Amino acid sequence: MRKGTLFLVSHWSLTMKLLLIEDDKTIADYVLGGLRQEGHVVDHVADGRDAMGQAMAGSYDVMIVDRMLPGLDGLSLVRALRAAKVMTPAIFLTALGGVDDRIEGLQAGGDDYLVKPFAFGELSARIAALARRPVPQATETVLSVGDLRMDLIRRKVTRNGVEIDLLPREFALLEHLMRRKGRVQTRTMLLEAVWDISFDPQTNVVETHISRLRAKVDRPFDHELIRTVRGSGYKIEG
């Protein structure tokens, strides 16, 4: 974390909404600078109690949490969030690097653990890896966006009461978007989540399936739900 550090922005970086919970101003500025240069939207909170409200009110892709925080320590914060059913992936940043410390962090509900000092590139890669993990399914069986409903048990999709017939891959793509309503999903994220492809196959498979979905989900109705975010990807919102 030296002055004049250059942050290399990957061509494959994903635009995410992140919450940084860190009370050390030098580290916070370092992390904020790198993540924002990569194009991410980052909120920063320096106090554990303030972070609790922020994490519960916001919809974040990943939280970066310091263990030693004023107000409420990082372990207690993540435990409380998990108890409140906030399942946003969390990576701990800490100077406590012992095996027992790592185990304690993971048992508290953390998803990853990075010891200070750290290279920004490693933090960036770990955040991207966490964001690619499937969202915990919990007990939700019906998804809804506006007048669009998806019954996961009956595998049935309706809009304004009209049943929509989807092929299995179309259903999986729509489910992925609906679980993340209002959040942009890049082409790379969709390839990995829906097709289990971790490289660019140089085909228009995503664009083709989005077009088919729109033909069934949007075009017969008054307004569109599936939106293209130019230069970023796709999202669904009512």
Beta bridge partners of 151: 142, 156
Going from N- to C-terminal start, the domains of the chain cover 17-132, 142-236
Q: Which CATH number fits domain 142-236: 1.10.10.10, 1.10.1370.20, 1.10.3720.10, 3.40.50.2300?
A: 1.10.10.10
Percent of the chain with pLDDT over 70: 91
With bands split at pLDDT 50, 70 and 90, how would you rate the model's confidence at 8? very low
Taking only Cα atoms into account, the Rg of the chain, rounded to an integer number of angstroms, comes to 19
Residue 2: the pLDDT is 36
pTM > 0.85 = no
Q: What does the mean pLDDT of the chain come to? A: 87
142-236 has the same fold as 17-132:
no
Task: Tell whether the model's pLDDT for residue 11 goes beyond 50.
Answer: no
User: How far is the CA of 200 from the CAs of 12, 126, 133, 205, in angstroms?
Assistant: 10, 20, 18, 10
With bands split at pLDDT 50, 70 and 90, how would you rate the model's confidence at 199? confident
With bands split at pLDDT 50, 70 and 90, how would you rate the model's confidence at 223? very high
Please provide residue 68's backbone torsions phi and psi, each rounded to the nearest 5 degrees.
-100, 100
Looking at the structure, give the CATH architecture of the domain made up of residues 17-132.
3-Layer(aba) Sandwich (3.40)
Single-letter amino acid, residue 113: Y
Give residue-wise pLDDT tens across range 210-219: 999 999 999 9
Per-residue pLDDT averaged across 124-147, rounded? 80
